[in-house]
Structure 1
Amino acid sequence: MTTTRLTGKTARFTGRTALVTGAGSGIGRGIALAFGAEGANVVVAGRRREPLDETVALIEAGGGKALAVSADVSKAVDAHALVRAAVDRYGSLDVAVNNAGVFRGGQPLADLTEEDWRTQLDINVTGVFLALQAEIRHMRAQPSGGAIVNVASTFGVHTSSPGAAAYAASKAAVTVLSKGAAVDHIREGVRINVVSPGPTDTPMSLRPGETPAERAERAKAGLPLGRISATAEVAAAVLYLASDDAGSVVGTDLVVDSGATA
C-alpha cells in the first residue's frame, strides 16, 4: 500500500474502515483517535451514546471520518448489527479492535458478588467472543481479509494483584481466546493479535482516593520506566499490529506496561 501523509503522520489506514469498541473514553478513545489521524474511517462503539459522539467530534475536528454506533457487545444481535453498520456506511470492515471491558472488584475473591463476576465474564470475555465471531465472518468473506486486535491486560496471563482475581481471569481468557482464534482463521485472511496494557493514564489505574499526582509518584518509584503509559502509546501498539507492518505477526500478545512485568 502506498504511504501518504496526514497531519504529519503516515496514513497507513487511508481508505480502510476500523471498528473500535469501548471507544467512549480512555484507551478506546485513544485508539479511535489514532486511527482517525492515520486516515481510517472509524466506527466507534459503546453502550452510551454521548461519549461516543464526543469521540466522533474529536476525530472529525482532526480531519477524520467517524461514525458512532451504540451497542452492547455482550449481546450477539448487537455485535452483528455493529459490523453491518460499519459495512453499510463505509463498504468494508478492515480492522477491528475489541477493547470494551469493565473492572468489578477491589475486594478478595471470596467477597466478590456473583453479579460482579458474571458482569466481567459477560463483557470482557463473551463480548470479545461475540464480536470476534461477527467480525471474522465478514472479514473472511471479503478479498482483503482483515486484522483484529483484542485488548487484554497485564492482569491475566502476565500478573495479578489483590482484589483483581476475577478481572485477571477474564483478561487471561481474552488472551487465550485470541491465540486460538488467530490459528483458526489466519488461512482465511484474518490476522488476530492482542495488546496487554499495564498501568495507563486512565481512571482505572487510580487507587481509591488517589490523585493523578500521587499516582505519578507511585509509578516513579515502582515502575522500571518511572511512569505509567500514555493512552497514545497503547494506541501505537494497536495500530502497529493492525497495520501491514505487522503482516507476519499472528497470535502475539504485545505487552505495554512500562516494564512492570519485565
Structure 2
Amino acid sequence: MMSILKDKVAIVSGAGSGIGRAIAITYANEGAKVIVADINEAHADETVKLIQENGGDAFAVKADSSIATENKKLVEISVEKYGKLDIACNNAGIGGPAKPTGEYEPEEWDKVIALNLNGVFYACRYQLEQMEKNGGGSIINIASVHGQVAAPNSPAYTASKHAVVGLTKNIAAEYATKNIRCNAVGPGYIETPLLSANLDQKTQDAIAAKSPINRLGTPQEIADLVAFLSSDKSSFTTGSYIIADGGYTAI
C-alpha cells in the first residue's frame, strides 16, 4: 500500500477526540509523523497511544489554540522533534451557547471568536512562516457547512466559520507561488463524542434527516478528505472550500 504522506510532518489541533483524532490517526496511517495537539492532555496522550499501537510515530502536546504563543510553540516543537513542518490541520473549535444574536453576551462571542477564528489565524501565521523555510506545505482549516449557511442561534459559530473560509482563500492567493497550499473543509453533522454528549437520539435523527444521505457523517469520512487535501494528490487544489455534508447544503 502506497502511503500518500510518507515522511511528512504534520500538526493536528483538537486531535484529542472526534474529527481531530480521526485525522491524526489517518495521517499516521498514511506515513506522516504527527504532533497531536489538544487542550486536554489526557485525550492527546490517548490519540498518540492509538497511533503508536498501530506502528505510527506521534507526539502529544498540550496547547490552547486560542493563544498565539501556544501556536508558535507547536511549530517550534515540530521542528525541534522532526526537523520540519509539511502539513497542518487546524481543527480545534467550539460551538458556543445556543442563543439568538440579540441575546448573545459579548464574552460568549469573544470566546468562540478567540478559538474558532483568532486561533486559526495564529496557527496559520506560524505554520506559514515555517513552511516557507522548508520550501512548501499544505494547510487544511476545518470550517463547517456553517461557513456557507446559517446555524440559527449560533451567530458566533457561523461568523467564525465564514471567516475561516475567507482567511483560507487569502492565504491560498498569497502563498500559491511559494508551494504552499491552503484549503478549508466544511464538515456537515458528524457523529462525534461532542455531538452525542450534547444531543439526544431524537435530535440526532432529526439532524440526520436534514441531509439527503439521511445519516450523520463519520469522523473517518472527514479524515479521508483531509488526508487527500494534505497530500500531493491534490497538488492543483488551493483556496478551495470543500463541503462534506451528505448533501445538507445542496437542498
The residue that corresponds to 2:130 in the other structure is 138
- Structure 1 residues without counterparts, runs of 5 or longer: none
Match of 2:209 among 201, 207, 221: 221
> Which secondary structure state, in structure 2, belongs to the residue aligned with residue 24 of structure 1?
coil
- Structure 2 residues without counterparts, runs of 5 or longer: none
Pairwise CA distance, 1:37: 0.9
**Cα distance in 1 between the residues matched to 2:30 and 2:87:** 13
2:218 alignment partner AA: A
The residue that corresponds to 2:229 in the other structure is 241
The residue that corresponds to 2:163 in the other structure is 173
The residue that corresponds to 2:71 in the other structure is 79
Q: In percent, how many aligned pairs have the same letter?
A: 37
Q: Is the 8 A contact 1:193 1:251 kept in 2?
A: yes
> Which secondary structure state, in structure 2, belongs to the residue aligned with residue 155 of structure 1?
helix
**Cα distance in 2 between the residues matched to 1:220 and 1:72:** 31
**Cα distance in 2 between the residues matched to 1:109 and 1:210:** 25
Q: Is the 8 A contact 1:105 1:167 kept in 2?
A: no
Check if 1:152 corresponds to 2:140.
Answer: no
Pairwise CA distance, 1:32: 0.4
Match of 1:52 among 20, 35, 44: 44
Bigger relative contact order, structure 1 or 2 (CA pairs below 8 A, ≥6 apart)? 2
* Structure 1 residue runs of 4 or more that deviate by more than 6 Å after TM superposition: none
TM-score scaled to structure 2, two decimals?
Answer: 0.95
**Cα distance in 2 between the residues matched to 1:261 and 1:216:** 17
> Which secondary structure state, in structure 1, belongs to the residue aligned with residue 248 of structure 2?
coil
The residue that corresponds to 1:123 in the other structure is 115
**Cα distance in 1 between the residues matched to 2:186 and 2:103:** 27
1:149 alignment partner AA: I
1:258 alignment partner AA: G
Pairwise CA distance, 1:77: 1.3
Pairwise CA distance, 1:209: 4.9
Q: Is the 8 A contact 1:97 1:150 kept in 2?
A: yes
**Cα distance in 2 between the residues matched to 1:88 and 1:251:** 29
> Which secondary structure state, in structure 2, belongs to the residue aligned with residue 261 of structure 1?
helix
Q: Is the 8 A contact 2:87 2:139 kept in 1?
A: yes
Between the two proteins, the alignment pairs up a number of residues equal to: 250
Listed one character per residue, the Cα deviations across residues 52-111 of structure 1 (whole Å, up to 9, x for unaligned) are 000000111111010001112222211111001011111111100000111112111111
> Which secondary structure state, in structure 1, belongs to the residue aligned with residue 242 of structure 2?
strand
Match of 2:87 among 90, 95, 101: 95
1:97 alignment partner AA: C
The residue that corresponds to 2:11 in the other structure is 19
Structure with more of its chain in helix, by fraction: 2
2:18 alignment partner AA: G
